[in-house]
Amino acid sequence: MVEMMKAVRLHAFGGPEVLRYEDAPRPVPAPGEVLVRVHAIGLNPPDWYLRDGYRSLPPEWQPRPTFPLIPGSDVSGVIEAVTDGVEGFRVGDEVFAMVRFPRDVMEGSKAYAEYVSVPASDLALKPAGIDHIHAAGAPMSLLTAWQFLIELGHDEPNPFQASRHAPVPLAGKTVLVNGAGGGVGHLAVQLATWRGARVIAVASGKNEELMRDLGADRFIDHTGTAAHEVVRDVDLVLDTVGGADTGRFLRTLKRGGALFPVYPMGFAGYGEAERLGVTVSTTQVRSSGAQLAQAAPLLDDGTVRVVLDSTFPLADASDAHERAARGSIQGKIVLTAV
Ligand SMILES: NC(=O)c1ccc[n+]([C@@H]2O[C@H](COP(=O)([O-])OP(=O)(O)OC[C@H]3O[C@@H](n4cnc5c(N)ncnc54)[C@H](OP(=O)(O)O)[C@@H]3O)[C@@H](O)[C@H]2O)c1
């Protein structure tokens, strides 16, 4: 008999209203995977890109998955079962993960559910010092900030450029983080501070107090001041907003500096970057239990804090997507599943 669970599924692409809370078969973990009883699910932009059918991509790149599908990648929960070949994890362990990303980016990693199967290589023990809600907010945003700023951690091909992305030394450097109040941004501010950088945080005004609390040395409200008009001679810009306009930050950098657009689509300023002696580099985040385990002590002792924008019950995932669609997210939106 098939065991069932509650999950949020899509039967077609569309707006937040296509997210349906309903019964679905409980996953059966493959060899090398564990079954996790999900306590909380962190939301990320790929969740709404997929819900919408990746409409911004050319039609030939858009996903054609088998419906119904379960979206979501970031979870924190408790191991319910382990399979052959899994080492280092036991039933009852509290764990967190970004599940099969980017492998399952076009069909969903099935995290919006009471149970999810997770490759052991994507998992790490949840830091005891934080609860499941905060742990679920960490994986994709933290791994993104980590892989851009601290260590890439893999040799897989880079879908955005021919070369391997290489983080740069941060100690004693000036780092501008654009989109600093968002999921990736608020964690990047803290990682750069931890590594000894002087941080300029660029975000909307409501984030100022938070940014100073998280270690930023200077705050620029992008709704009143264009950061690229007033900042010069920085060593690194991490632009979590990115897009075609990311090139405006080239003029804020020293010769020898670097621009890292986290969302690189549309950037065409490679010639100008070369003339200015600035490196432009990006990458695509990848699941890594090993890196989550490396970062876990920072979450555990509060060196890096996951800030919560809002929480919603799993059953109200469509409300959580409505919140995301209004933008100006401060930290993370998280669903609770217990
Ligand atoms: N390369 C990768 O593998 C990778 C991985 C993760 C994410 N991403 C991409 O990175 C982007 C950010 O992801 P996220 O999870 O951090 O999103 P998020 O949580 O929605 O954060 C985006 C932040 O940008 C701020 N913002 C919007 N317009 C701005 C502007 N003009 N200037 C400065 N800040 C602005 C928003 O708040 P305020 O307007 O209130 O400041 C918000 O806090 C997304 O496009 C995502 O797809 C890429």
Peptide bond just before 102 cis, omega within 30 deg:
yes
User: What spacing in Å lies between the alpha carbon of 336 and ligand 1's midpoint?
Assistant: 23
Task: Please tell me the residue having the least CA distance from ligand 1 atom 33.
Answer: 179
- Which amino acids bring their CB within 6 angstroms of ligand 1? 44-45, 140-141, 144, 178-179, 181-185, 202-204, 222, 240-241, 262-263, 284-285, 328-329
**Could you report the per-residue pLDDT of 200-229, keeping only the tens digit for each?**
999 999 999 999 999 999 999 999 999 999
Is the pTM higher than 0.85? The answer reads: yes
* pLDDT at residue 56 greater than cutoff 90: no
Average pLDDT over residues 148-155: 98
Using an 8 Å Cβ cutoff, are 290 and 151 in contact?
no
Domains with residue ranges and CATH for the chain:
4-138+306-336 (3.90.180.10), 154-280 (3.40.50.720)
The closest-lying atom of ligand 1 relative to the alpha carbon of residue 262 is: 1
Task: Give the chain's end-to-end CA distance (angstroms, integer).
Answer: 24
